[in-house]
Structure 1
């Protein structure tokens, strides 16, 4: 289980998260809804072990995280897909570089990159293109492939479909659902689109208050 236990995050005097309690079970899709600016993305970064909280702990399958970012041994167990793919990749990378980045960093075989690219609808001719040479949808497909490259046990989708057309949204959600069903991974789907979350999480949606406080289950 991926758990936030009393997680608090402050930037200077501004408290973004206050004693948040949240858990994602293996095989579960948990939807997290709330307006922009209420701390959802900050929570996503904490759960992905990219941001150290001011207080509280993150636990991955019963083991509390003590290190963060690349020093965290549990980091590869969690995949994170960002809302804006162009801010999440090196602009000098090709799509092939984007997908293989975690494989190279962890000394894994690179062949998996082409399999993932095909599953996500990326043709071979796109592999050599850089972010400015592809559409938002194509770049986000590469980012989803990157997030799945190490077969994480938990996947955090932070507004990943916001900038995409309906067909691309449906395709990416379907691919993540296929991955979840195959591997038993837990998924945290974050969005302000409650209709999408209701369909994706099958009603297992929590609402997030604009004011820092623990998430609560929607009634």
Structure 2
């Protein structure tokens, strides 16, 4: 179980972006987090993925409170998450070929020996051929780059997948393809999925349940800058 308990979070000692938000996500469950732009949902998603330290509250993974954030989180907690952001060009190193970007988490965790196998498994799954794998971000479309970012998010076989507006910049066919990949992974692995967005129709079709921002017990303190 992934639990967010009474989370308050903000930036640079300013007013909190999120106040008192609580949410649970069970293994194998897909939960949609619905809210308008600027409400704080991206900040909450970053807290859930251990990428942003909250000012108050607790993140609990399978009964164990989170013991650190970003690179200071214990490896077993940090690598339990795969994260997919809204803007792939801001989350991809422009110097890396797509194949190297996908493999980056394996290198960072000392699993270089798994790179060839995981690339063979993931590239066709997300719809990337050898030609695209050899290109750098400026040589591919947003949709192609987001496919690589999804493969990168899955490469360590995470138990929790956080999708923060992952389809907001994509056309309908690419959106459908990427959601299908996420759902296939969820079924096969039993991973929990938190899908953040403002498109009610998409979230309700995709997820087991959809939670509105007001249902979290949360209040917005300032525009969401995450």
TM-score over 0.5 (shorter chain): yes
Q: Which runs of 4+ in 1 moved over 6 A?
A: none
Find the aligned partners of 1:124 and 1:118 in 2 and give their Cα distance: 9
For the residue of structure 2 that corresponds to 1:52, the secondary structure is coil
- Contact persistence 2:22–2:217 (CA under 8 A): no
1:208 is the counterpart of 2:213: yes
1:83-162 superposed matches below 5 A: 83-108=86-111, 109-111=114-116, 112-162=118-168
For residue 194 of structure 1, report the CA deviation from its aligned partner.
Answer: 0.4
Q: Where does residue 35 of structure 2 map in the other structure?
A: 34
Question: What aligned pairs does 1:175-214 form with structure 2 within 5 A after superposition?
Answer: 175-202=181-208, 204-209=209-214, 213=218
- What displacement does 1:113 show? 1.9
Which protein has greater RCO, CA pairs closer than 8 Å, 6+ apart? 2
Corresponding position: 1:48 with 2:54: no
1:17–1:212 Cα contact (<8 Å) kept: no
Distance in structure 1 (CA, Å) of the matches to 2:29 and 2:195: 10
Tell me, what secondary structure is at the counterpart of 1:37?
coil
Question: TM-score normalised to the size of structure 2?
Answer: 0.91
Gaps of 5+ in 1: none
User: Does the 8 A contact of 1:19 with 1:213 survive in 2?
Assistant: yes
Conservation of the 8 A alpha-carbon contact between 1:7 and 1:57: yes
- The SS at the match of 1:67 is coil
Q: Report the count of equivalent residues.
A: 213
Within-5 A mapping of 1:13-24: 13-24=14-25
TM-score by length of 1: 0.94
1:66 to partner: Cα distance: 1.4
